[in-house]
Structure 1
C-alpha cells in the first residue's frame, strides 16, 4: 500500500489507524469506546484516524488499498511529519468481550416452509384498471378473482388469461396477451420483487381458502 522506495519520507511519522471487521464496525458500543481511544491517543501526540476502517473493503475491493485507504495513511503521515513526530507501533484496539449468555435448550417452531414448485408462466395484458378495487368492481362479484398485480398499465397473473373462462377478459386486451417465464423474473432484479409479491398474494388466497373450507 505504501511504496518502500518512499520509506525515507515517512520514517518520522507517528500515526495510528485501526482496521476492523464489519461485525466490530457495526457495534455502537465499540465505536463509542474507540472514540475515547482516539481522544486519548491524540492527547499524547499520536496522529490517529478518527474512524474505524472496514477491513472487508480491503479484501473485497482491489482498488481500495491503493486509493482511499492510501490517502488516509499518507494524510496522517503528513500531519505527523509537520508536527515532527516519529514512527512508533501500530495501535492495537481490542474490543471488550461480549457478555456470555446462559445456554438453555429450547425447542423452536418455524413458519418457514420449503418451496417445492413454482408457476412456470406469468401472463400479462394491458388494462384500463389502475387500482385493485377497480378490478374487483369491474368483475362480477360472484366470480372468484385469481391473484394479480397491476403495474406499468398491465395486469400480471399466474392465471391463464388466454382461457375463454378467465374472469379478467372484460378488463384486458384479448389481442395483446404476453407470456413470460417465471425463471426470467427471478433472474431480473427489476421484476424479482414483483414476483415475490404475486407469490405472496397467491399463498394468502390459498391459505384463506383452506381456512374457510375447514
Structure 2
C-alpha cells in the first residue's frame, strides 16, 4: 500500500515538490576532507556546513541520504587523460583527507549508503550500484550538494536529467575553487536542465508543495 504522504500534491511532475520523501534522495558529492581544504576558503567550509544542515533536514523528512565518494583503492581507467596527476591525488588522499568530515557522519545509519567510483569518472552516477539503488527505491527526484560545483555537481546533474530524474542543486551547499566558475554553473548551466535554490529556499518550497491540497 502506498504512503499517502507520497501522493502528488502539485500538478507538475517536473518539479521536486511533486515527489514525496520516499521518491526523493539527497546526494552528498565528494565531500572528502582533502577536497574541502583543496578548494579552500570560506566557500567550501560554508558549503560543507549547509550540506550538513541539508542532511539533517532530509533525515527528519525521511528523505534518503546517499554519500558519493571516490574509491581511493581503485586505479583510474587506462584512457583517462591526466591519469598520472589523478594517481598522485589518490596517493595524497591515502595519506590523509579521504574521509568525509564529521559534519556528514553524525548518527550515520545503515539506510544511508555510500557509493564510490574510480577517480576519473566525475559523475556520481558512474558509481557501481548507485543507479540500481535509486531505481530500486523508486527515487525520481535528486537533490545535489557537493564539491566542486563545476566538477561532480555539474557532471552528475546533467546525466541525472538524461536518466529522467528531477534534479535540484542546492547552490549554497556547493563550492568551487573559482567563485566565478561556481556562479556560472549555478546561474547559466544548471537552470537549463534542473533547478537551483539555496537550502532555505528548497526546504521552504518543498514543505509548501507537500502541504498543499
* Same-fold call, TM cutoff 0.5: no
Q: Greater CA radius of gyration, 1 or 2?
A: 1
More helix by share: 2
Q: Normalized per residue, which structure has more strand?
A: 2
TM-score (norm 2): 0.25
TM-score by length of structure 1 reads 0.25
